[in-house]
Amino acid sequence: MNPRDTSRPHVWRPANDAASARTLLLLHGSGANEHDLLPLGKALDPNANLLSPRGLVRMDGADRFFMRYDDGRFDEAGIIKAVSELADFVWAASGEYGFDPDRVWAVGFSNGANASGALLLLHPDTVCGIAAFGTTKSFLKTPFRGARPNLIGKRVWIANGATDDYSPSSRTEAMIEEFTQLGAEVELMVHPGGHLIAKDHIQQIARNLP
């Protein structure tokens, strides 16, 4: 198994016209797998291709894209590695399955939401934008490779819970500021609950996906 090609465990659900449809890259949360967010993808766009890879880091019996330490810090080197592998996987999959690599949107929850944000920051040519549910800022200081990316034209939806300890408001504000300074159009949505995906947020994003 190579994490950078389509031998990586994943699910591919093509649209009726895969070549012209939008593709949603579905990135699951810790303890889930490549099947977990398929219903979310369908709810966001029933006419999209769905491409859902499995996170390849295993911790305490759970699959994830990168580790989070007991003190709450993220394995930042692991995030960099994970999103580099995801970027290569998307390009390889576009060649194998024939979808348009310029019409890919990353959709993630929790650990996968962090991965989607890091993918946009470090490999911006891979995705048009992200829908990040239950997310927070991944890097204390984002390790840009060379020049800072130009994210003008990219869309970012951040969909968090007001009582979610995983997504403290101070880090959410810092994340929004970073994306905005880089030129992305950012929309924050907050539901009154905790670490979960709200139906209202799904519907709002679905109505506004370009």
Q: Is residue 1 part of a domain?
A: no
Edge to edge, what strands does the sheet with 129-133 contain? 10-13, 49-53, 23-27, 104-109, 129-133, 155-161, 185-191
Q: Which residues make Cβ contacts (< 8 Å) with residue 5, sequence separation at least 6?
A: 88, 89, 92
Q: Considering the candidates 10, 84, 100, 195, report the single residue annotated as catalytic.
A: 195
- CATH number of the domain residue 148 falls in: 3.40.50.1820
Q: Is residue 5 part of a domain?
A: no
From the list 182, 63, 55, 166, the residue with the least C-alpha distance to 122 is: 182
Indicate the number of domains in the chain.
1
Mean pLDDT by 10 residues, the chain (210 residues): 94 97 98 98 98 95 92 92 98 98 98 98 98 96 91 98 95 96 98 97 97
Cβ(78)–Cβ(66) below 8 Å: yes
Q: Is residue 96 part of a domain?
A: yes
Q: Is residue 106 part of a domain?
A: yes
Can you spell out the DSSP letters for 16-71?
Answer: TTTTTS-EEEEE--TT--TTTTHHHHHHH-TTSEEEEEPP-EEETTEEESS-B-TT
Q: Is residue 127 part of a domain?
A: yes
125 counts as catalytic: no
110 counts as catalytic: yes
- Look-up: residue for tokens 């880090």? 171
pTM of the shown model: 0.97
195 counts as catalytic: yes
- Look-up: residue for tokens 């348009």? 100
92 three-state secondary structure: helix
Burial of 81 (C-beta count, 10 Å sphere; 0-12/13-18/19+): middle
Output DSSP code: residue 74: B
Q: Considering the candidates 28, 164, 167, 191, report the single residue annotated as catalytic.
A: 164
Q: Which residues make Cβ contacts (< 8 Å) with residue 140, sequence separation at least 6?
A: 76
Q: Considering the candidates 30, 52, 110, 138, report the single residue annotated as catalytic.
A: 110
One-letter amino acid identity for 193? G
Residue 185 belongs to domain spanning:
10-208
**What distance in Å separates the CA atoms of residue 48 and residue 14, rounded to the nearest whole number?**
7
Q: Is residue 178 part of a domain?
A: yes
